[in-house]
Amino acid sequence: MRDYLLMLFITAAVTHLLTGPVRKFAITIGVVPEVRARDVHREPTPRLGGMAMFGGLLAGLLVASHLPHLEEIFTQSSTPRALLSGAALICLLGVLDDKWGVDALVKLGGQVLAAGVMVFQGLTILWLPVPGTDGIYLSDWQGTLLTVGLIVVSINAVNFVDGLDGLAAGTVGIAATAFFLYAYRLWYGYGIEAAASTTLVSAILAGMCLGFLVHNSHPARIFMGDSGSMLLGLLIAGCAVSVTGEVDPSLLSQSVDGRSGSAAMVPVYIPLIMPLSVIALPVADLVLAVIRRTWNGMSPFAADKGHLHHRLLQLGHSHRRAVLLMYFWSALFSFGIVAYSARGAKSWMLFGVAFVCAVGLFLLLQPRYESGLTRRLLPRRPRGRVVATGGKRTGADEEHRAPSR
């Protein structure tokens, strides 16, 4: 556990330290788009935050490859190499989009290419946990199609949810933490060493989100842009694919011998349920957006102002409160699945989840109330404002009193 916590903090520190220089670089080259009608923030804000997160990813993998207890992951598994290759491609695509803008179909093609590169290097879904069986093994073309589809959906789901300061980074950070706990339990709880790579990547992903969130919390000094949101979506999907691509379901079934009924099979089903739970809100937002735009005669790729976070603001929630509510539901889905995998369907757990849901619904229906806890969790701070002087954009720290996004 100490090695993984070390990776988390190293990645968070490197990401945090790189974000400042990346912000200045974005301002220098003019990656500070004007505020659009569908945007929530009020002032032009630099993007390219994904470059800092990619730097944190590189640092985490580099340090891990030299640690005695983690270096075997890089020799026995292709997951780190495959994820790094796909991450480099998707981050480059995002940088191009942040700077010049990329056509939606071209962007989709780039996402498929990045997913294909990962599949080519061995990161593929090999089996599906199906009730009543030890898992159904997939053919090569079935595994390839399913893997590419999952990665592309995850990339776009996280990209869609990136609409409020700190929302995408916090949501994915929560999901990565839940995935880390699940993968760590597979390895040390059930003795399945193949889950080691997923444990490492999820710890690094959580560190990337934590380090960037310091700069991206409301009011944000920098946005992650498509270079960051697509990178996070690819990595969280990579964690899911790694579990079903490297963990043998027969070993998982043998490790739960002695437990009866459906509870004994819970860990076998979780690799299928976990990816859906950790990105449940982003995927729901993605599906609703496609239905809404198609119903209104718009292109599914056309941007609008009808996402879940936009609706929370329309209900009257403040920026901070809307973000915390999204955090709440993400944590409920993610950690609820992890707790269920560890304890099964205990009655006290079901009552606990129902109670927490009731609390969440109460808070959702009280948009005008902002507690002291909310203000402490997301305190106001000076915003690094971008102003134009002599045709160039420079950074100047000024107090920003109006909502920024």
Annotated binding site: 159, 226
- Per the CB < 8 A criterion, the answer to whether 280 and 154 are in contact is no
> 207: Cβ–Cβ under 8 A, 6 or more apart, which residues?
7, 8, 9, 10, 11, 12, 15, 56, 60
Distance CA(7)–CA(216), nearest Å, equals 21
* ∠ CA 284-275-144, rounded to 5°: 105
Three-class SS of 141-201: HHHHHHHHHHHHHHHHHHHHHCCCCCHHHHHHHHHHHHHHHHHHHHHHHHCCHHHHHHHHH
Closest CA to 363 of 310, 405, 305, 323: 323
Strand partners, 383: 398
For residue 324, the Cα-to-chain-centroid distance in whole angstroms is: 16
How many of the other CB atoms lie within 10 Å of CB of 405? 22
Bind-site residues for Mg(2+): 159, 226
User: Helices in 29-139 by DSSP H: which ranges?
Assistant: 49-64, 71-76, 79-99, 104-120
H/E stretch holding 393 reads strand 392-398
